């Protein structure tokens, strides 16, 4: 007899014992004609749930003594699961009740009605559907059922990324369920999935490259033309993980990485890649323009790699945060004499500049504060309707490298997991808000506003 863990106990039903009690008392009530006593007729119904009962309609063992909820509830859950599967095949749901195929079997009708109410509960989940930053709706969607090569994960934590609030980037695909910084627990696996089992703690990447095309062979994973994307996203109670994602986009979480910390894996992986592209070496100076969530992660990684860090922003709270994380010099980007101050206080230009803001003024500052032979990395970019003027003549003679960095690849994700696991990059101090799914609109407002938040995490199953 399967135990609790294989039935509803996978977290899909919050209070199984209460549920079992409702079912049992509902059956007893129905079968006894409402007076609480047992008759041969009610045993036919009770027997559906109890293998020990006599299925011919005469009194079964379950009815001879007082019914023990505790002793039978595991059994009930198992049978109810089977009934749900049966129901899926032969009935349709009307307002939460199932229309029985025949009214002759009224007992089955009742059982199915009870089951179907819970079927509706089990088969649907809450998701946050994004129409734009001001219009995010909590909607019900069918909970996906994993096929043989798929698995279902329960989202425990999902971070709101700076890119989630960039409307020009997201709107062409709206409405959509966003969320790509996912820490989750495996709740169901298809029979052919061997890599994971229910209960495993995982990080699920938003996209996986094919690992075979020319781009992938050159480690330009974000350019892979056969990239597989996970949709819907992590602002949902459950996420279906497809075979390609299981193969190359799902990672076991080490025990000492919490679900909240796991929401930093993807952004940190992007930061790892950007700094690698910049060729940043130990002892070099990096200027990080913009000290929001991604800017601060850049500060943390550069400090961990023993680089000298200069951070800027126009928000003093963020500048203080950058300083407390180890930036040697912080400068308010709104100050009139920004470039002079930087060159003076740093005693020279930076070896690399990483742009973590979409502000056009920051790009001008980048050219002026970068040493010859250095690299400028566009980690964030201005809106598409903005034009960036490049002083190419000047940059040409100074051999400045202009780079872009978009997303990350599997090696970067592995590196990010190692950095979090070892404690080389600590992220707990960056978490400012944890919110249930229903408050996601507030979460987006906090990230968009940016004055009081750094990292906002949504917990869809709170």
- In the complex, the residues that contact Zn ion under the rule CB under 5 A are 161, 163, 209-210, 213, 216, 224
CB-nearer residue toward Zn ion: 288 or 408 = 408
d(CA 129, CA 159): 15
The residues, ordered by sequence, that sit 6+ positions from 253 with a Cβ below 8 Å of its Cβ are 183, 201, 202, 203, 259, 262, 417
Cα–Cα distance, 44 to 63 (Å, whole number): 10
Q: Which CB atom, from 165 or from 302, has the smaller least distance to Zn ion?
A: 165
Q: CA–CA separation, 118 vs 367, rounded Å? A: 61
Minimum CB distance to Zn ion, residue 327 (Å): 22
Render the burial of 174-198: b for 16+ CB within 10 Å, e for the rest: eebbbbbbbbbbbbbbbeebeebeb
Quote the least distance from Cβ 110 to Zn ion, whole Å. 49
Q: Kindly tell me which of 227 and 342 has the beta carbon lying closer to Zn ion.
A: 227
Task: Say how many Å lie between the first and final Cα of the chain, rounded.
Answer: 31
Task: Give the residue carrying structure tokens 């890649």.
Answer: 273
Least CB distance from residue 233 to Zn ion, whole Å? 11
Tokens for 142?
A: 């069918």
Please, what is the minimum distance in Å from the beta carbon of residue 311 to Zn ion?
A: 20
Exposed (0-12), middle (13-18) or buried (19+): which is 41, by Cβ within 10 Å?
middle
Q: What are phi and psi of 43, to 5 degrees?
A: -65, -30
Q: How far is residue 31's CA from residue 363's CA, in Å, rounded to a whole number?
A: 76
- Which residue number, 27 or 208, has a Cβ lying nearer to Zn ion? 208
Name the residue nearer to Zn ion (CB basis): 136 or 216: 216
Our CB check for Zn ion shows the closer of 146 and 232 to be 232
Q: How far is the CB of 9 from Zn ion (least distance, A)?
A: 33
The one-character DSSP state at 292 is: S
Which residue has 């709170």 as its token pair? 462
Cβ distance to Zn ion smaller for residue 161 or 303? 161
CB of 142 to Zn ion, least distance (A): 27
Closest approach of Cβ 178 to Zn ion, in Å?
10
């Amino acid at each position: 007899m399967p135990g609790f863990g294989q039935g509803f106990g996978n977290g899909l039903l919050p209070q199984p014992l209460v549920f079992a009690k409702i079912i049992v008392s509902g059956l007893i009530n129905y079968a006894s004609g409402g007076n609480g006593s047992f008759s041969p007729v009610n045993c036919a119904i009770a027997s559906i749930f109890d293998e020990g009962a006599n299925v011919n309609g005469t009194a079964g063992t379950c009815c001879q003594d007082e019914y023990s909820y505790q002793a039978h509830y595991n059994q009930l859950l198992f049978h109810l699961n089977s009934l749900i599967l049966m129901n899926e095949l032969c009935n349709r749901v009307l307002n939460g009740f199932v229309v029985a195929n025949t009214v002759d079997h009224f007992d089955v009708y009742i059982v199915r009605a009870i089951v179907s109410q819970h079927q509706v509960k089990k088969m649907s989940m809450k998701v946050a559907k994004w129409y734009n930053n001001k219009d995010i709706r909590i909607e019900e969607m069918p909970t996906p059922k994993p096929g043989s090569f798929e698995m279902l994960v329960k989202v425990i934590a999902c971070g709101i990324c700076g890119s989630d609030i960039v409307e020009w980037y997201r709107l062409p695909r709206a409405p959509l369920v966003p969320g790509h910084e996912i820490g989750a627990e495996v709740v169901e696996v298809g029979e052919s999935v061997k890599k994971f089992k229910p209960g495993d703690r995982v990080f699920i990447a938003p996209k996986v490259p094919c690992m075979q095309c020319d781009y992938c062979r050159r480690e330009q994973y974000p350019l892979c033309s056969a990239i597989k994307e996970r949709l819907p996203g992590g602002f949902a109670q459950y996420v279906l993980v497809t075979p390609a994602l299981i193969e190359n986009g799902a990672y076991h979480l080490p025990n000492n990485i919490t679900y909240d910390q796991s929401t930093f894996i993807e952004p940190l992986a992007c930061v790892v890649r950007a700094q690698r592209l910049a060729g940043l070496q130990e002892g070099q100076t990096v200027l990080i323009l913009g000290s929001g969530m991604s800017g601060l992660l850049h500060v943390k990684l550069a400090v961990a790699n023993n680089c000298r860090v200069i951070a800027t922003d126009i928000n003093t709270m963020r500048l203080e945060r950058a300083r407390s994380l180890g930036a040697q010099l912080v400068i308010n980007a709104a100050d009139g004499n920004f470039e002079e101050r930087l060159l003076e206080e740093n005693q020279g230009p930076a070896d690399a500049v990483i742009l973590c803001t979409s502000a056009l003024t920051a790009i001008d500052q980048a050219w002026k504060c970068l040493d010859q032979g250095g690299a400028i990395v566009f980690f964030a970019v201005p809106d598409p309707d903005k034009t960036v003027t490049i002083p190419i003549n000047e940059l040409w003679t100074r051999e400045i490298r202009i780079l872009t960095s978009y997303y990350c690849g599997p090696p970067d994700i592995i590196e990010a997991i190692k950095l979090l696991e070892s404690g080389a990059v600590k992220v707990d101090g960056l978490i400012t808000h944890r919110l249930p799914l229903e408050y996601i609109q507030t979460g987006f407002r906090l990230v968009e506003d940016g004055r009081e938040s750094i990292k906002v995490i949504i917990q869809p199953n709170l």
